[in-house]
Structure 1
């Protein structure tokens, strides 16, 4: 036995004899009917979604609403996670930040305490070609500690523009880090 579906306005569907296991969906009242072979029995308590075709203008409007709602919450966090052994150089994690704002704080964490001081920087770029640190000096995780401890001074005026790329560069050549995560807090405008 096959299952068929029929769509149409409710008045037209009521006049149509729904076959056994045939499904009817009204396009004007969003009611769902299941056929019994002679007529359709409404399915009570069944919410059926109202579908509509959207055009590009509708999508742009939805994007604007999402951006407006997101901008009402002014605190954002960028979380970089570098699993496994972290060695010198640029790490795989990179982010394109979709808001403008001001850097607030940075917290770094290694799952195993390093035997020597670890240094890293978070770099920014607008073109993926030239990169600069967002801090005045490298971020440090001291020997035998899991987390960053020193106060962070942000470079320039501490602002980030829409579309800025961010990445992590691990600077310590002699100390391999284990499971590095960095949280960058940004207050958006």
Structure 2
């Protein structure tokens, strides 16, 4: 798995293409953030966008209604790759709960278990430090991650890795000028 190579000592790495401020602002009634990626196109555990839950509060999210909303928002090829809790205690139970929420939402969205790894994490709102675990598809055990990176040029990575068709098209446009009636020239 490529994500394990990026991390230190064979541990997975989490990469964000969205700005860090998107995790904090505007203030939300929920601690949850859905992590959106494109696991078939982008490198594993690469977060392209972060969504806030619409239905429920930080204690109880209405997953069936949330799945209906997200199903309409996600473009084809994008998927929920995890959940990040912002604030709270940051205990192991919180991180495990985030991973279970990601699994449950994924099953509601697509009716099957995830065919890719899922991320469950916690972000300390004061320091911005992220602690996360990764669970491979079908596995019940999880591996704690060690490296979090924020891409400097996220657009470049999306164009290089995520673009299915890229072309330049030369257009030759005819130029029409209105003849100047007074001078007799075109």
Report the TM range for the smaller structure's normalisation: under 0.3
Structure having the higher helix fraction is 2
Structure having the higher strand fraction is 1
TM-score between the two structures when normalised by the length of structure 2: 0.26
Select the structure of larger CA radius of gyration. 1
TM-score between the two structures when normalised by the length of structure 1: 0.26
